[in-house]
Amino acid sequence: MARRYDFEERKYVIGGIAVLIVLVFIARLFVLQILTDDYKKYADSNAFLKRTQYPSRGVIYDRNGELLVYNQPAYDITFIPREIAGLDTLALCEALDISPAFFVERMKEVSNRRKNPGYSRYTHQVFMSQLSAEECGVFQEKLFKFPGFYIQRRTIRQYAYHAAAHVLGDIGEVSAREMEANEDGFYERGDFIGKQGVERFYEKELRGEKGVEVLLRDAHGRVQGRYMEGKLDKMPVVGKNITLGLDIQLQMLGERLMKNKIGSIVAIEPATGEILCMVSSPTFDPQLMVGRSRGKNHQHLEQDPKKPLLNRAIMGVYPPGSTFKTAQGLTFLQEGIIQPETQFPCHHGFVHAGLRVGCHAHSSPIGLVPAIATSCNSYFCWGLYRMMGMKKYGRPQVAMNKWRDYMVSMGFGYKLGVDLPGEKRGLIPNAEFYDKAYRGSWNGLTVISIAIGQGEVLLTPLQIANLGATIANRGYFITPHVAKSIEGGQVDSVYRQKRFTDASPENYEVIVQGMRDAVLGGTCRGANIEGIEVCGKTGTAQNRGHDHSAFMGFAPMNDPKIAIAVYVENGGFGAVYGVPIGALMMEQYLNGELSEASELKAEDISNRVIYYGNEER
């Protein structure tokens, strides 16, 4: 009986093992055929060679049809890992003019699934990219010696002008992080993607659609020709061309004027919100970001202490200085804090309860229009102090949040939404901010500096330029954007909608008059352009070192074509750099050229170097 029992037991054990083996095989088949495509890739790779056909990237034009960015042919060296056999590594390195160490490192990098999530032994992997036609020609002659290696034709970017690097952006090899975020499955290891600027923001429009060429192999893996006479081939779709609102001649003048300086210039067409120029200084030649030297050049720029890669127009946040007084005047008028004829004293500044905010000499008492024209600090300090203490608000906290609401409606404190990556929001404080800072114990005198664009207030040059466009439009703006049109479509509807502020057009007219008087006989006299009614406002933003020089304006007064902001770090008074640079830029855009006298002035400004202490800035 014992023997029979042992036999019965062994029968079930053996049967269980057999069932387990069958289940393992079924699970493995399920994984190979359903969960992964490795088996399919292996089978297909024996019979077919699928060669990706890369589309030409869309080209980029300026507003006048000038070609800015275009394509030139380049070549990649790819390989299929499973096809490599008996490779003469030294001969390959000599043919490609690379070191054996580079070869080993590159092979490790490509086969690392963490760095290269799309790795497969049965598909093309990029070994080297962006070879020139000459480099590729040398390798082509010896290609037969290296089975498993192929040449893939594609394009690289070229730039018609050595300008507008921050706006145009660049393309580079897709990173591991970008591969992981590859929602539509478009990118594979070795592909290129927009990294900054327009190239990044409009990547999907510019990149086009890939094609594929299906080639038939024989039993030895040799290509026999196109499969089914190309019936399964898919032609690539060229990327869409984009026209920018940028005026490349204006952009190049701006970069020339900002040479040897740190800061930004932004110009906007008020009627459309199109950005006419966006200068960030120091800048760099966009051509440095093309080809195999891109990584080395990028690292060099990244290590530069002056931060040339930083787009200060949208990433730099600064105290706006006296350009901000226009927004304060509008708020005080709209809230009934003042009337256009309301006057405040100025005893060489605002003086009250032991607090003093200095000001330069001018008549006193003074009304709103001349206060804007002469940039009187006292006037706007009195206005804010009165607002913070008015009974209709009850508490300073309520008045402060009302003030903040006006600022937000004018485009401050939040990102404007420009069609470029990396925009900063700046800072507009509210009651909660000051309650936290002063434990709830503060009043109008505590925060008085925000009335003149100092203290905690921080704006980007784009936001200051947008303030100019809003005043030019008498109360509304269209979200600033760099794209004017996209081939086969149009820019997002958000870039066509008017955004109205909380101040009335009638109150804007008062501010416009103050800005016009500033040019006629106030702090912006240097912005006068013959035959053009220019409106402007200077800004001198206090800084621990030398003050920053700022200017905000627009022209012509009653038919505005351009609004502009100039911000020069450590440039001193607004009239020193901000005003003359702004005037030259407006003259160039409105007249199409500079007069002889203006050209000499531009040359002088371009040659000036700003020093900060012992450091050349």
Tokens of 66: 């000038």
Return d(Cα 165, Cα 152) in angstroms, integer.
Answer: 28
Report pLDDT for 74.
Answer: 86
Query: Does residue 118 share a domain with residue 170?
Result: yes
CA nearest to 316, candidates 275, 360, 266: 266
CATH number assigned to the domain comprising residue 318:
3.40.710.10
Report pLDDT for 42.
Answer: 47
Residue by residue, DSSP assigns 469-529 as: HHHHTTSEEE--BSEEEETTS---GGGTSEEE-SS-HHHHHHHHHHHHHHHHHSTTGGG-B
Q: Where are the alpha helices (DSSP H) in 322-460?
A: 325-334, 368-374, 377-389, 396-409, 431-438
Strand segments (E) across 514-604: 535-541, 548-555, 562-568
Mean pLDDT by 10 residues, the chain (617 residues): 58 75 76 56 57 90 98 89 88 91 89 74 82 84 89 89 97 86 83 95 95 72 62 88 98 98 98 98 95 88 96 98 98 98 95 93 95 98 97 96 98 98 98 96 97 97 98 98 94 97 98 98 96 97 88 98 97 96 98 97 96 51
Tokens of 609: 């170097």
Token look-up 């060669």 returns 51
The reply to whether 292 falls in a domain is no
Return d(Cα 282, Cα 610) in angstroms, integer.
Answer: 12
- Side chain identity, residue 460: T
The reply to whether 298 falls in a domain is no
Query: Does residue 274 share a domain with residue 168?
Result: no
Return d(Cα 54, Cα 57) in angstroms, integer.
Answer: 9
Report pLDDT for 190.
Answer: 79
Containing structural domain, residue 348: 248-286+311-609
Query: Does residue 253 share a domain with residue 126?
Result: no
The reply to whether 121 falls in a domain is yes
Report pLDDT for 511.
Answer: 98
Return d(Cα 3, Cα 47) in angstroms, integer.
Answer: 57
The reply to whether 302 falls in a domain is no
The number of domains in the chain is 3
Buried b (16+ CB within 10 A) or exposed e, 555-584: bbbeebbbbbbbbbbbbebbbbbbbbbbbb
Report pLDDT for 189.
Answer: 77
Q: Where are the alpha helices (DSSP H) in 234-376?
A: 248-257, 294-303, 312-315, 325-334, 368-374
CATH number assigned to the domain comprising residue 229:
3.90.1310.10
Report pLDDT for 121.
Answer: 79
The reply to whether 44 falls in a domain is no
Query: Does residue 486 share a domain with residue 412?
Result: yes
Query: Does residue 271 share a domain with residue 205?
Result: no
